Amino acid sequence: MANAERNTNALQTLQSKGGKQVMLTTAADVEPVNPSWLWKYWVPAGFLSLIAGAPATGKTSLALSIAATLSRGGEWPDGAPCRPQRAVIWSGEDDVASTLVPRLMAHRANLEMISFVTSTRDAGETRSFDPARDLLQLRQTLCALDDVGLLIIDPIISVVSGDSHKNAEVRRGLQPVVELASTVGCAVLGITHLSKGTAGIEPLERVTGSLAFGALPRIVLFAARTSGDGESEHDRILVRAKSNIGPDGDGFRYGVEGLNLPDAQAIETSRITWGSAVSGPASDLLSPARDTDPAASARDRRAEWLRKVLADGPVLATEVSERAADELACSVHVIGRVRERVGAISAAVGYSSNKKSYWYLPGHEGLLQQLKGTAREVPEE
> Residue 236 CB: number of other CB atoms within 10 A?
25
**Model pTM?**
0.72
Q: Give me the mean pLDDT over the 302-321 stretch.
A: 88
Q: Is the pLDDT reported for residue 375 higher than 70?
A: no
Show Cβ contacts of residue 161 under 8 Å, excluding neighbours closer than 6 positions: 132, 133, 169, 173
Residue by residue, DSSP assigns 121-172 as: EETTEEEE--TTT-HHHHHHHHHHSS-EEEEEEESGGGG--S-TT-HHHHHH
> For residue 134, what pLDDT is reported?
94
User: Per DSSP, what are the bridge partners of residue 121?
Assistant: 126
Q: What percent of the chain has pLDDT over 90?
A: 51
Of the listed ranges 117-126, 150-159, 241-250, 271-280, the least confidently predicted one is: 117-126
> Mean pLDDT over all residues of the chain?
86
- Write out pLDDT tens, residues 217-268: 999 999 998 865 444 688 899 999 999 999 999 999 999 999 888 875 678 8
Query: Which residue ranges make up each domain of the chain?
Result: 36-286, 294-377
Q: Is the pLDDT reported for residue 154 higher than 70?
A: yes
- Write out pLDDT tens, residues 93-103: 899 999 999 99
| Identity of residue 216 | L
CA 28 centroid distance within chain = 36
> For residue 56, what pLDDT is reported?
85
Q: Is the pLDDT reported for residue 294 higher than 80?
A: no
Q: Which fold has domain 294-377?
A: Arc Repressor Mutant, subunit A (1.10.10)
CATH of 36-286, one of 3.40.1280.10, 3.40.1160.10, 3.40.190.10, 3.40.50.300: 3.40.50.300
User: b/e map of 336-358 (b: 16 or more CB within 10 Å)?
Assistant: bebbebbebeebebbeeeeeeeb
Phi-psi category of residue 331: left, alpha or beta, with phi > 0 → left and psi -120 to 50 → alpha = beta
> For residue 105, what pLDDT is reported?
95
> For residue 378, what pLDDT is reported?
41
Q: Is the pLDDT reported for residue 380 higher than 50?
A: no
> For residue 18, what pLDDT is reported?
60
Show Cβ contacts of residue 341 under 8 Å, excluding neighbours closer than 6 positions: 196, 197, 299, 303
Nearest Cα neighbor of 248 from 223, 225, 279, 274 is 279
Angle at 108 between CA 102 and CA 110, to 5 degrees: 95
Is residue 148 within 8 Å of 88, Cβ to Cβ?
A: yes
Is residue 252 within 8 Å of 237, Cβ to Cβ?
A: yes
Q: Is the pLDDT reported for residue 3 higher than 60?
A: no
Q: 340 or 288: whose pLDDT is higher?
A: 340
